Chain A
């Protein structure tokens, strides 16, 4: 007979996507998880009640303050990167269109969208790739680009850049989990549910109804758009 895992103390596990804390001492009585339920005894397919992240995206509370291992950035003077791909140019223009919209500059926004469309057409799509190709890129992002960007943005703290990095890193982690799960479960994972994308930060939520606020950027859910099937 196997005995349930017992510890003499309770731990807290923190969702790395949305910050939800699972406190063993309290459990989640609303979900029928009684106080004292250990993290290990939650089922493997248990997901974060706020954002839908899997257990693997949780970290022990005590570990969340760990100092990130510094990476070596080469010391030579860097030159400003000026060459942008067509796809980047497109995103740059659609970003500036959003900037115009926020200032109620409708005509300017429309013109920037024209440019964004032009560059989007030129960029085209990348063919004959699968979700694995995306997972490779996301892992590179999480292991290389994000730590490096965070380090650079912390030298002379750049609040705006740090904010954008926090959001998109969380969104990337979530996307990563979703695609890993999709590779395993295939269409059964999505057959009877909806997909929502947050218009502000890009967070993808899988579920019948979107949460009240976006778990990552906290915008009210009227900014979370359903992606239709078809």
Chain B
């Protein structure tokens, strides 16, 4: 566990400065210094505005999704994202400001619904094996415009193992 501060909630009571045994909360950026934080939780307990929370290093595994549930959610997300693209098309083509405003709102609404539905299709945690397989699957995308570097960085940062297409794990040191 380590402490993080949500600066939006912070009311500058600065009790974290006083209780932290290592000085991790004493930074210029307002963020807790992760390299000094020992995870004791004293700052989170002392904070009167609940601006500091303890974040686990490792999250428990995601709730398993059954195949029919995951598929139902994906079908819905397919429809919602299609509606997003239709609404975005209306917004792009119309000359009427009010129609554009409404279509933009509809596109945004559908995007938010699709995100939430996909989250519950088995993609809640970026560290989950589902998210890992997804990243591995797109890694070999053949398109010069594809941000491959972003995928490689994500695999590394989120501690996912890189896999070859055959599904075998590739040892990063050997590559």
Residues of A whose CB lies within 8 Å of any CB of B are 73, 78-81, 84-85, 87-92, 94-96, 98-100, 103-105, 107-108, 111-112, 114-115, 118, 123-131, 133-134, 137-138, 140-141, 145-146, 148-149, 152-153, 155-156, 158, 160-161, 163-165, 167-168, 171-172, 175, 178-179, 182, 187, 190-191, 195, 197-204, 227-230
Contacts and interface: CB of A to CB of B under 8 A. Distances in A.
B24 interface: no
B120 A161 contact: yes
Interface string B6-26: 000000000000000000000
A88 B114 contact: yes
Is chain A's interface secondary structure helix, strand, loop, or mixed overall? helix
Closest 9 CB pairs of A and B: A87-B81, A202-B112, A149-B72, A95-B115, A125-B89, A202-B109, A91-B114, A152-B68, A164-B120
A104 B131 CA distance: 18
Interface stretch (B36-44, B96-104, B163-171): B96-104
Interface string B133-157: 0100010000001110011011001
Given A145-B75, A204-B106, A230 B66 contact: no
Interface in B66-82: 66-82
Contacts, number: 228
5 contacts: A95-B118, A123-B81, A133-B86, A149-B72, A227-B101
